[in-house]
A and B are shown apart, each in its own frame.
Chain A
């Protein structure tokens, strides 16, 4: 098919299509994912549907709903045009555990994830954190300040979630553009730091070869 898989070409030569990057917005059901997408998106959040039949056997799921032949999962997303050549999509992941199979498909090639937590029910965001850690997806935690009140400090939440020390944890209101921008910026900076250290790691063997030769 007529698809361009040469990534370098896309970066260096402006194509007619912009390069599209994506970031996930996750957390449990009702933590404010779609609100967050809507706060920073340049368009009203759009909704698309992935049908369960897209993913092959769904026997177990259908057993629980024998009267239904097909079930759909709503996926909300927004868009931010960075430049003529670069577009960022924000995808709200389906909040319920039983739809977590869809995450693999949405997560492939993501820049990172913004995990929203509601301190009144931290546990609903555990699957999103577990998933990001397991898949080594860079992520930041946003403690949603509902009604202007954060019930716990950043340190308390960091302890409760047991996230790695380099994972940014921010407190913010997902309805406030400045707050969402801060969370988004923290995520991209974190993802960039990870990519830079990966690049430094990939250069080490070459440097080693050079010093070996030099010493000999």
Chain B
């Protein structure tokens, strides 16, 4: 895939924007649809409807991007827009900004988990 030219269609979906409302979502941020089939009250691209459909099960930005074949940047914009419309909820548990106590607690859980693999 490296070095392959792409058509600019993905940026038509986002109206030419490469940044969404809100900040850049981490690739592992989890999105889940709040109310399936809910009408967000504006015309939204079909790709955004696809996101609402697959995020009935919580999925990361990276997974959404991969499953729908959308570049990461486009996925972020669409998810941020849906979050702004309260159509999806995004959990951005930033490990980097978590308190050191929370980090220790999470890593203990993770260590027990990987040992049990």
Contacts and interface: CB of A to CB of B under 8 A. Distances in A.
Nearest to A177: B117
B60 to A, nearest CB: 6
A99 B1 CA distance: 13
A189 to B, nearest CB: 6
Contact of A105 (B3, B8, B27, B60): B27
A50 B83 CA distance: 21
Contacts of B83: 1-3
Contacts of A109: 26, 28, 94-97
A40 to B, nearest CB: 7
A3 B27 CA distance: 14
B28 A22 contact: yes
A69 B82 CA distance: 29
Contacts of A49: 1, 6, 65, 71-72
Given A4-B92, A77-B62, A110-B95, A50 B71 contact: yes
A151 interface: no
Chain A's interface: helix, strand, loop or mixed, by majority?
mixed
A46 B28 contact: no
B24 A105 contact: yes
Given A15-B91, A73-B2, A185-B111, A89 B62 contact: yes
Contacts of A40: 117
B84 interface: yes
Interface residues of A, number: 67
Nearest to A67: B5
Nearest to B83: A1
A89 B60 contact: yes
Contacts of B58: 16-18
Interface in A6-20: 7-8, 10-11, 15-20
13 contacts: A7-B102, A11-B105, A20-B60, A40-B117, A49-B71, A54-B73, A69-B8, A80-B114, A86-B110, A86-B113, A87-B60, A91-B27, A184-B114
Interface of A: 1-5, 7-8, 10-11, 15-22, 40, 46-51, 53-54, 65, 67-75, 77, 79-80, 82-83, 86-89, 91, 94, 96, 99, 105-106, 108-111, 181, 184-185, 188-189, 191-192, 195-196, 198-199, 202
